Amino acid sequence: MAKKRLALIHTVNWYDKVINTPFADPWLKENPDFEVFNIMDDSLLAESLDNGMATPAVYKRMQFYFMAAESLGADVAMCTCTTVALGSRTARNYVSIPVFNIDEPMAKEAVRLGTRLGIVGTVPTSPAATQRLLEYEASQIGKSVEIVVECDEKAFEYRQQGDIPKHNERVHAVMDRLAEKVDVLVLGQISLAQIKHETKVPVLQVGHTGFAEAKRLLDQVNK
């Protein structure tokens, strides 16, 4: 029997470090009947950062990548970037396979758990995209939420320089401050998915929850 295929669409060229090694590889060991292939265009995030948001051109290119994933035999496709999340929802109009963004399961859980939600970010385009997603998921269940955002761009600079301890130190400080004000902390960026820091409120991250959703969708595919 042919393996079921998950396409991952990435917007950074260091996706191996933040997606495949910590999340996809263990997931594949647990699910030997699945396989993963990658599509990467790092201009998607670069253009979004240059413009302060994902542009129409970014969203348009994403549709091509989802259609390419389908034509390459993917049974499910998941985008791994928070900033361009809207492009994943749009792609559902163009492809026949299940498509979702890695942060969607996390957002559903966040609006279930609390009404005052804190978003931690380090890339300026990411919190805005996460906020839109949280508001969308809240509207889907008829719930009103209040959202507080804190973004530490200096932390991302440290990450790009390879100084992970300094990056983590700054993110931990943001988490501690924000936890005093909210019911739930939401770390939407994939670059924050490996942060391990407990606070007085629940901390929700992308990564494992996204791959759990991919498994759920792949299990529904008949091969």
φ/ψ (deg, to 5) at 36: -125, 140
pLDDT tens by residue, 65-81? 999 999 999 999 999 99
pLDDT, one tens digit per residue, over 145-167 is 999 999 999 999 998 898 999 99
User: Residue 142, by phi and psi: left (phi above 0), alpha (psi -120 to 50) or beta?
Assistant: left
Tokens of 95: 């492809």
Q: Model pTM? A: 0.89
Segments in the chain below pLDDT 70 = 223
Identify the pLDDT of residue 191.
86
CATH class of 104-205: alpha beta
Q: Where are the alpha helices (DSSP H) in the chain?
A: 15, 25-30, 43-51, 56-71, 85-91, 104-113, 125-140, 153-160, 164-179, 208-219
- Identical fold between 4-102+208-219 and 104-205: yes
The ranges assigned to domains in the chain are 4-102+208-219, 104-205
Task: Quote the pLDDT of residue 190.
Answer: 85
CATH code reported for the domain at 4-102+208-219: 3.40.50.1860
Sign of the dihedral through C-alpha 203, 134, 216, 11: negative
* DSSP symbol at 191: G
- Whole-number pLDDT of residue 158: 93
